[in-house]
């Protein structure tokens, strides 16, 4: 019966042969006609290994090295690859005991037998050199080199910023970065990231599927060397910065000092400060959490990120605006009428410099009324709308009400607030406001808010008699000394020079004449010009002072802000400003007792502050 179907063997053979033929056709497709797989094979078994360039150094304005790198060596182990180890010899070579060795190996093995883990952290250069002679005997161990940022002086942490591993947002934003790369996270490290980082090099290595390097491809013929990052030459004066940080110890607040003629920031302090070395290497994680949890916000650069009511320092700007508008004259006098707005006891100001010197609140109430109410329209509201628009325009030209274009990260930077008509239309409702509702602005309270950098910039603008150069942190960078064009042009306020001279007479008087509010900023032999401010807020008033010196050809303009320090601008901010000016211009401080007094003082009210103290009346403001 079976032979009836004997022919079916051909069907079966055909199936076999056709299948075989199909496979051979497929093989031909893969191996002979499609170059894709050959390329893919090369791509994945030849893996480019990144060579990291050294990150650029950061210098201060006198060429002192502030930030540099140090190579550190970690002894790594892949437990599974450790074979035939002479343990005693090894322990001698690296200088550890047998028990220590066992403990470290156990830890590494627990982490992973297959992956590298750190056997010994940060071994010294001598140990590294010794190691290299013997390395061939220790299979499974190798040295991994990393570089860390090193700060020789523990200063300017918030300005310099710190570097950390890239996060997902960085990876999505810029294809340059790979997982595990380092990137500037804040401060100059962030804003000059692309300058500092350099260009990564590429080494082509033959690797296996576990990403283990087998050897260089074509003996490195296709490799590229990394290009080192550019050095930053900052505007900071390291000595002044350190001195300012010392004076701000035990306090909260900030200092910004600017060279008026160039807009270069000489010092920028945000207190409390921290040692930038805390955010380097393996200790970063814990320290970062601790700093971040601190309610005094040490990581926050207050000079840029906080905005405060400016207080009386704002009067200087009001005076020059009113003079420029012609609504007052230098010798215009107003009675100190405390029924308009509260004031401290002083004789009525007969002139503009007198008013600035004594910081008379009713005087500037009147000044601001003349600015806002120019009798342009019969309706009080429409009249005030006109005046406010004019005033708002002036204020913006001082750099208020907007972010100053400083070369630090814009994220988190405050812009301050200069209210305009639409602001009050939202705030009070259309036509429901006029001068009577907004007069607090005249003395730097109410709805105005400024950033400390803007205050220092006001001092610089006054020092320059009418213009400022956008404050910046970096003079030039790289081997070609690249300078940023943004920081070479003048920003004019459009206010006449002579009006500033009037205000400066008042600021000089505030420091040097009887009845002046800022006499504690006086430095013997220097004609410091300054203006105090006391900014109301929840908790004790903030103590504010802006100043510049010398009066002619000013070299330094600064703003000092001490948070919640009872006693007004004259008591805390002014003497600190005086010490800083003395230090910068004279190179040393002779008044050691004053220095000690303010360095040790801790005037700031403790955090957390009591809830908002509703002070309705504006009184006793200097």
Partner 1 sequence: MNPIERKKYDWLAIGLYLGIVIFGWLNIYSACYDPEHAAIFDLTLQHGRQLLWIAMALVLAIVILNVEPRFFADTSYIIYLVVIALLVLTLFIGNETNGGKSWIKIGSFKLQSSEFAKFATALAIAKYISAIDIDIAKFRTKATAIAIAAIPAGLILLQHDTGSALVFASFILPMFREGTSGMVLIVGLVAVVLFVLALLINKYVLIGIVAACCLFYLFVWLNKRTRRNYTNILAVFVVAVAFIFSVDMVFNHVLESHQRERIEVLLGKREDLLGAGYNVHQSKIAIGSGGFVGKGFLRGTVTKANFVPEQDTDFIFCTVGEEWGFLGSGLLIAAYVVLLVHLVSMAERQRSTFARFYGYSVASILFFHLMVNVGMVLGLLPVIGIPLPFFSYGGSSLLAFTFLLFIFIRQDADKNQLL
Task: List residues binding partner 1 (CB under 8 A).
Answer: 1-2, 4-6, 8-9, 11-13, 15-17, 19-20, 22-24, 26-28, 30-32, 34, 36-38, 40-42, 44-45, 206-210, 214
To partner 1, the closest distance from the beta carbon of 14 in angstroms equals 10
To partner 1, the closest distance from the beta carbon of 43 in angstroms equals 9
CA distances 300 to 292, 351, 413, Å, are 9, 41, 10
To partner 1, the closest distance from the beta carbon of 29 in angstroms equals 9
To partner 1, the closest distance from the beta carbon of 81 in angstroms equals 11
| CB nearer to partner 1: pick between 10 and 616 | 10
Identify whether the C-beta of residue 149 lies closer than 8 Å to the C-beta of residue 69.
yes
Instruction: Tell me if the bond preceding 89 is cis, omega within 30° of 0.
Output: no
Task: Give the C-alpha separation, 368 to 327, whole Å.
Answer: 9
| CB nearer to partner 1: pick between 102 and 213 | 213
Count CB atoms within 10 A of the CB of residue 588: 9
User: Do the strands 556-562 and 542-549 form a parallel or antiparallel pair, or are they unpaired?
Assistant: antiparallel
Which two structure tokens, joined as six digits, stand for 209?
């599927």
| CB nearer to partner 1: pick between 114 and 427 | 114
To partner 1, the closest distance from the beta carbon of 209 in angstroms equals 4
| CB nearer to partner 1: pick between 36 and 378 | 36
| CB nearer to partner 1: pick between 41 and 103 | 41
| CB nearer to partner 1: pick between 4 and 612 | 4
| CB nearer to partner 1: pick between 6 and 293 | 6
To partner 1, the closest distance from the beta carbon of 177 in angstroms equals 21
| CB nearer to partner 1: pick between 83 and 592 | 83
| CB nearer to partner 1: pick between 4 and 592 | 4
User: Do the strands 232-234 and 58-59 form a parallel or antiparallel pair, or are they unpaired?
Assistant: parallel
Q: Any idea of the CA torsion for 468, 469, 474, 477, to the nearest 10 degrees?
A: -160
Count CB atoms within 10 A of the CB of residue 171: 15
To partner 1, the closest distance from the beta carbon of 236 in angstroms equals 48
* Burial class of residue 377 (count of CB atoms within 10 Å of its CB; 0-12, 13-18, 19+): middle
Of 598, 603, 554, the C-alpha closest to 577 is 598
To partner 1, the closest distance from the beta carbon of 116 in angstroms equals 17
To partner 1, the closest distance from the beta carbon of 139 in angstroms equals 10
What is the residue whose two structure tokens read 């790289």? 478
| CB nearer to partner 1: pick between 2 and 168 | 2
| CB nearer to partner 1: pick between 23 and 89 | 23
| CB nearer to partner 1: pick between 13 and 106 | 13
To partner 1, the closest distance from the beta carbon of 135 in angstroms equals 17
To partner 1, the closest distance from the beta carbon of 106 in angstroms equals 25
To partner 1, the closest distance from the beta carbon of 60 in angstroms equals 49
Identify whether the C-beta of residue 42 lies closer than 8 Å to the C-beta of residue 204.
no
Task: Give the C-alpha separation, 303 to 308, whole Å.
Answer: 10
The 8 Å CB, 24+ separation contacts for 273-276 are 273/155, 273/157, 273/158, 273/245, 273/248, 273/249, 273/298, 274/157, 274/298, 274/299, 275/151, 275/154, 275/157, 276/67, 276/149, 276/151, 276/154, 276/155, 276/156, 276/157, 276/160, 276/162
To partner 1, the closest distance from the beta carbon of 299 in angstroms equals 38
In sequence order, what are the residues at sequence separation of 6 or more whose Cβ sits closer than 8 angstroms to the Cβ of residue 6? none
What is the residue whose two structure tokens read 């906080």? 306
Instruction: Give 323-363 as a DSSP string.
Output: HHHTSS-TT--B---TTTS---S-PPB-SHHHHHHHT-HHH
| CB nearer to partner 1: pick between 30 and 199 | 30
| CB nearer to partner 1: pick between 2 and 345 | 2
Count CA atoms closer than 13 A to 335's CA, side-chain side: 4
Residue 26 main-chain phi, psi, to 5 deg: -65, -40
To partner 1, the closest distance from the beta carbon of 169 in angstroms equals 23
Task: Give the C-alpha separation, 266 to 527, whole Å.
Answer: 20
| CB nearer to partner 1: pick between 106 and 212 | 212
Give the distance between the most distant pair of CA atoms in the chain: 136
Tell me which DSSP letter residue 450 carries.
Answer: B
To partner 1, the closest distance from the beta carbon of 267 in angstroms equals 52
Task: Give the C-alpha separation, 614 to 451, whole Å.
Answer: 23
Q: Any idea of the CA torsion for 593, 574, 257, 553, to the nearest 10 degrees?
A: -100
């Amino acid at each position: 019966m079976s032979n009836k179907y004997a022919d079916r063997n051909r069907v079966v053979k055909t199936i076999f042969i056709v299948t075989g033929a199909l496979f051979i056709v497929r093989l031909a497709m893969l191996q002979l006609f499609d170059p894709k797989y050959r390329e893919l094979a090369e791509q994945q078994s030849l893996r480019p290994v990144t060579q990291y360039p050294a990150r650029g150094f950061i210098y201060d304005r006198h060429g002192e090295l502030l930030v540099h790198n140090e190579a550190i060596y970690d002894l790594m182990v892949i437990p599974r690859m450790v074979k035939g180890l002479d343990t005693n010899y090894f322990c001698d070579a690296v200088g550890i005991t047998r028990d220590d060795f066992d403990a470290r190996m156990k830890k590494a093995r627990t982490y992973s037998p297959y992956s590298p883990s750190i056997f010994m952290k940060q071994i010294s250069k001598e140990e590294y050199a010794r190691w290299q002679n013997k390395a061939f005997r220790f299979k499974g161990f190798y040295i991994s080199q990393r570089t860390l940022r090193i700060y020789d002086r523990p200063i300017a942490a918030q300005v310099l910023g710190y570097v950390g591993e890239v996060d997902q947002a960085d990876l999505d934003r810029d294809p340059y970065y790979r997982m595990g790369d380092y990137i500037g996270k804040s401060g100059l490290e962030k804003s000059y990231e692309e300058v500092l980082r350099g260009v990564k090099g590429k080494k082509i290595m033959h690797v296996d599927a576990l990403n283990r390097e087998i050897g260089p491809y074509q003996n490195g013929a296709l490799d590229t060397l990394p290009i080192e990052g550019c050095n930053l030459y900052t505007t900071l004066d390291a000595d002044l910065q350190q001195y300012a940080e010392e004076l701000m110890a035990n306090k909260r607040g900030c200092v910004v000092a600017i060279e008026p003629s160039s807009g270069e920031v000489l010092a920028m302090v945000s207190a409390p400060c921290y040692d930038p070395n805390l955010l380097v290497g393996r200790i970063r994680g814990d320290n970062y959490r601790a700093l971040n949890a601190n309610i005094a916000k040490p990581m926050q650069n207050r000079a840029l990120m906080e905005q405060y009511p400016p207080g009386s320092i704002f009067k200087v700007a009001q005076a020059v605006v009113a003079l420029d508008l012609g609504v007052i004259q230098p010798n215009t006098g107003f009675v100190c009428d405390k029924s308009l707005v509260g004031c401290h006891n002083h004789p009525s100001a007969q002139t503009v410099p007198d008013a600035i010197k004594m910081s008379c609140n009713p005087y500037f109430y009147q000044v601001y009324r003349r600015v806002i109410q120019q009798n342009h329209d019969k309706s009080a509201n429409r009249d005030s709308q006109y005046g406010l628009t004019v005033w708002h325009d002036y204020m913006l030209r001082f750099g208020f009400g907007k972010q100053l274009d400083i070369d630090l990260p814009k994220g988190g930077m405050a812009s301050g607030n200069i209210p305009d008509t639409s602001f009050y239309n939202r705030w009070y409702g259309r036509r429901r406001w006029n001068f009577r509702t907004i007069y607090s602005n005249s003395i730097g309270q109410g709805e105005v808010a400024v950033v400390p950098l803007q205050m220092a910039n006001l001092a610089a603008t006054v020092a320059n008699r009418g213009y400022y150069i956008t404050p910046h942190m970096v003079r030039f960078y790289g081997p070609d000394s690249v300078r940023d064009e943004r920081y070479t042009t003048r920003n004019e306020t459009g206010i006449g020079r002579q009006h500033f001279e009037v205000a400066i007479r008042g600021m000089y008087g505030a420091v040097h004449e009887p009845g002046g509010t800022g006499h504690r900023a006086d430095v013997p032999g220097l004609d410091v010009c300054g203006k105090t401010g006391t900014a109301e807020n929840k908790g004790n008033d903030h103590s504010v002072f802006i100043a510049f010196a010398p009066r002619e050809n000013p070299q330094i303009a600064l703003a000092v802000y001490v948070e919640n320090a009872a006693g007004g601008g004259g008591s805390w901010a002014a003497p600190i400003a005086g010490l800083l000016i003395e230090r910068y211009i004279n190179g040393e401080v002779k008044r050691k007792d004053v220095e000690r007094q303010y360095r040790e003082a801790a005037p700031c009210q403790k955090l957390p502050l009591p809830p908002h103290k509703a002070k309705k009346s504006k009184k006793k403001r200097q």
